[in-house]
Amino acid sequence: GVSLFSDETGALAALVDFHLVTKWKTAGDSLCAALKLARPGSKRILIVGAGTVGHSLRAAYGAGFPDAEFLIWNRTATTAEAFAAKYPNTRAVQDLPSAVAMADIITSATMSTTPVLRGDWFQPGQHIDLIGAYRPDMREVDDQALLQSSVFVDSYATTLDHIGELKIPLADGVITPEHVRADYYQPNDFKRCTDDEITLFKNGGGAHLDLMTADYILQQWKAVQ
């Protein structure tokens, strides 16, 4: 779990279930970026990966974009179909390139070590949200996807030198650190500049998000006691 200590006394204030924290910090991190970077009128959202995080993303994006239609793709089609059956305005798709092409927002949460999304599938004006590649050897998109997109991260410190999505193309000289336009600590630059640009956000997570989310959960619990 996540241990929270009082700022005033140093005493243990709460022990918050780690699974609950991870569930909401990851989806919340991505939704925050999408609300800043995706086109406001986005109506179709594709979720790539029907695992636990995929369900959290459906809940978060459903709250942030309540009028959107959702598409779900998974390597195992039956898993995608079972996912879709749990939610309104949600349907499973099997043709990933076609689904990518028709979506306004693509959010990917897979365990893939090789790219599952190709830059030549993307369309002008889309927002791409990448969650799954959290190790140095993992990637969800190819080099072309990065090169043609305006790239953003939640924190430079937790992504550039640690996560394969950026670490590998940086090491290979495909991109430079300057290709990443902004992180959350640069709010004036963390924005979409044109309707046609493709924005790409890498969700790196981090322990600071664990603490923030755990504290929010604690405050919400206190409010209903």
CATH code: domain of residue 107: 3.40.50.720
In a domain, 59, yes or no: yes
In a domain, 71, yes or no: yes
Q: What is the mean pLDDT of residues 140-160?
A: 95
What pLDDT, on the 0 to 100 scale, is given for residue 105?
Answer: 99
What are the beta bridge partners of residue 59?
A: none
Strands 127-130 vs 105-108: parallel, antiparallel or unpaired = parallel
In a domain, 11, yes or no: no
In a domain, 146, yes or no: yes
Distances (CA, A) of 13 to 16, 211, 212, 225: 10, 12, 14, 15
* Residue span of the structural domain in which 125 resides: 36-209
Distance of CA 26 to the CA centre of its chain: 7
Q: Which of 7-16, 68-77, 137-146 has the lowest mean pLDDT?
A: 7-16
Q: What is the mean pLDDT of residues 47-68?
A: 97
In a domain, 24, yes or no: no
In a domain, 28, yes or no: no
Q: Looking at the 3D structure of the chain, how many domains does it have?
A: 1
Contact between 18 and 1 (Cβ < 8 Å):
yes
Per-residue model confidence as pLDDT tens digits over 164-214: 999 999 999 999 999 999 999 999 999 999 999 999 999 998 777 888 889
Contact between 72 and 81 (Cβ < 8 Å):
no
Two structure tokens written together for 197: 């640009």
In a domain, 100, yes or no: yes
In a domain, 12, yes or no: no
d(CA 179, CA 19): 34
